[in-house]
Amino acid sequence: MNYVSTRGAAPTLNFCDTLLAGLANDGGLYVPQTWPTVAHGSPDASFAVRAAQILAPFVGDEIPPATLEALCRRAYGSFRDPLVAPLREMGENRWLLELFHGPTLAFKDVALQLIGQLFDHVLQARGERITVVGATSGDTGSAAIDGVKSCRNVAMVILYPQGRISEVQRRQMTTVDAANVHALAIDGTFDDCQDLVKAMFNDAPFRATHHLSAVNSINWARVMAQVVYYYTAIEQLHAVDSAPVSFSVPTGNFGNVLSGWIARQLGANVGHLIVGSNSNDILTRFFETQQITTAPVVPTLSPSMDIGVSSNFERLLFEMNGRDGVATADQIATFRTTGNLAVTADQFGTWIRPIFRGQRCSDAQTTAMIAATYRDHGVLVDPHTAVGLVATQACATPDEPVVTLATAHPAKFADAVEHATGVRAELPEHLADLLTRPERFTSVPNDLAAVQRFVASVSATR
């Protein structure tokens, strides 16, 4: 399978090069040149086997099927639940899809555990090494570190703002005992960390010397890996030939729900896609007004969704523009200068109205939903999942089967859960000693030269 950029001006790449490139060099995002058709499979097959089957058309002949299956088995062997993404019934026509049984307790593990395996396989075959550099304000950093900690051909440096992330989030990064991963505590904000990473990528000689790469949410392989659980959820429900199943997705960067749209595009029996937002509601406002307009980001109880612009939306925009990269690039450029992007009534009626629903949710509604879910079902849910449940309640009819994606373990946001229910969610056994494990990190000033010296000292070229 070959991949093209949403902005039409970057070279067409094969799967392995797309995996390693991350962002396209015209600033766009890579998407498959064509959408294949992918049939539903057996509910008795394991998650790893289904993953290898569903992802095969996107990988093509670049990785043999038996090898792809072995990589999937290794990736999903690290999950605590043998089903990897089990369903939990929550009353008539309602289910939770628990995506938090991976090593770092958030759905990002589903993609990043596989990406670690894919990176190592491809780099080993080519005799290459890379240095993954990223900035994190929470979940992505720990999931990325865990994904690559046993990769022989990847060094990883993650920048985080010192004193500005939770203790659990920090310790999930600093207590990983692997020589190839490095947590850098920056004396600055999350934006400072992001600026430092961008500056390193914009320094072409530095980028080339140290083989820099990224695993942020615009990497195609992340979106691709997330398609799998939309298929397996429908198969577990034996709903392949019955009424379409709708999915409610707590949304930030639009990566997770885009994977649901792709599953629908490939032929999965997906009904509506319900987009749940917190007070950072750029997508809900788009569904109401047909216009995308920026607004300042405000902090909420669901911090992994505190996002001003949902970068993965560009992939859907490309489809809405009839896969015209030049038109998409123009639209994005206008958006960057005016802060406003409008789609036509035709585009909205074809691509959005029949498929998407949207609902915003305040912190008070989030807390009330955590409390109600515990009271009515005896189940503790994290604040991100609660946003999804509020959206389900607002957007679905009683006879519509809806799966709400549970994107984080309640113990990851234990304070918010305790505040709502009076109950403290326990960390799973493998993390029970997290708060007493030795930490390993390096403090660095908010200074590009100092950060570059550190990256050079640990980079994969040594």
Ligand X SMILES: *Cc1c(COP(=O)(O)O)cnc(C)c1O
Which amino acids are annotated catalytic? 108
Smallest distance, Å, CB 100 to ligand X? Answer: 8
232 or 278: whose CB is closer to ligand X? 278
Nearer to ligand X, 268 or 408 (CB): 408
Q: Which residues are CB-contacts of 236 (< 8 A; sequence separation ≥ 6)?
A: 43, 83, 86, 87
367 binds ligand X (CB under 6 A): no
Stretch that binds ligand X, among 23-31, 59-67, 111-119, 253-261 (CB under 6 A): 253-261
The rounded distance, in Å, linking the Cα atoms of 173 and 137 is 11
- Angle value at C-alpha 106, between 105 and 110, nearest 5 degrees: 105
Residues numbered 44 to 103 that lie near ligand X (CB under 6 A) are none
Each residue 208-247 as x (binds ligand X by CB under 6 A) or -, in order, gives ---------x------------------------------
Question: What is the sign, positive or negative, of the torsion defined by CA atoms of 376, 378, 379, 381?
Answer: positive
Whole-angstrom distance, CA of residue 320 vs CA of residue 344? 10
Q: Report yes or no: 359 and 285 within 8 Å, Cβ to Cβ.
A: no
Among 32, 250, 325, 401, indicate the residue that binds ligand X (CB under 6 A). Answer: 250
What residues contact residue 117 under an 8 Å CB cut-off, 6+ apart? 71, 72, 74, 75
Using CB under 6 A as the binding rule, the residues of this chain from 263 to 322 that contact ligand X are 304-305
Q: By CB under 6 A, name the one of 95, 119, 247, 254 that touches ligand X.
A: 254
State the binding string over 111-150 for ligand X (x if CB under 6 A, else -): ----------------------------x-----------
Q: What's the min distance (Å) between Cβ of 256 and ligand X?
A: 4
- Report, in Å, the least distance between residue 408 CB and ligand X: 3
Contacts of 239 (CB under 8 A, 6+ apart): 245, 269, 401
Distance CA 182, CA 130 (A): 14
Compare residues 216 and 459 and give the one whose CB is closer to ligand X.
216
Among 252, 271, 325, 358, binds ligand X (CB under 6 A): 252
Which range in 7-15, 183-191, 248-256, 339-347 contacts ligand X by CB under 6 A? Answer: 248-256
421 binds ligand X (CB under 6 A): no
d(CA 117, CA 106): 18
**Choices 74-82, 251-259, 367-375, 427-435 (CB under 6 A): range interacting with ligand X:** 251-259
Shortest distance, position 261 Cβ to ligand X, whole Å: 12
> Can you read off the two tokens belonging to residue 68?
């792809």
- Considering the complex, what minimum distance in angstroms separates the CB of residue 257 from ligand X? 6
| 397 in Cβ contact with 378 (< 8 Å) | no
Tell whether residue 106 is a contact of ligand X (CB under 6 A).
Answer: yes
Cβ closest to ligand X, residue 48 vs residue 144? 144
Smallest gap, in angstroms, from Cβ of residue 97 to ligand X?
13
Is 96 within 8 Å of 381 (Cβ atoms)?
yes
* DSSP 3-state of 299: coil
| Consecutive H or E run containing 334 | helix 325-338
Q: Does the protein bind ligand X through residue 407 (CB under 6 A)?
A: yes
Angle at 407 between CA 267 and CA 49, to 5 degrees: 45
Nearest residue (CB) to ligand X, 24 versus 105 = 105
Smallest gap from residue 308 Cβ to ligand X (A): 12
The nearest distance, CB 452 to ligand X, in angstroms, is 28
Q: Which member of 104, 216, 256, 366 binds ligand X (CB under 6 A)?
A: 256
With CB under 6 A as the contact rule, the residue among 253, 284, 373, 393 that binds ligand X is 253
CA-CA distances (angstroms) from residue 132 to 20, 108, 154, 159, 437? 10, 17, 7, 11, 25
Q: Which is nearer to ligand X, 130 or 249 (CB)?
A: 249
Residue with smaller CB distance to ligand X, 217 or 269: 217
406 vs 444, beta carbon nearer ligand X = 406
Residue 278's SS3 state is: coil
CB of 315 to ligand X, least distance (A): 12
Element (H, E) at 73: helix 65-76
Locate the DSSP E strands across 121-238: 130-135, 154-161, 181-187, 212-213
Angle between helices 190-202 and 448-458 (to 10 degrees): 70
155 near 459, Cβ under 8 Å?
yes
Nearer to ligand X, 172 or 217 (CB): 217
**Residues within the interface to ligand X (CB under 6 A):** 106, 108, 139, 217, 250-256, 304-305, 384, 407-408
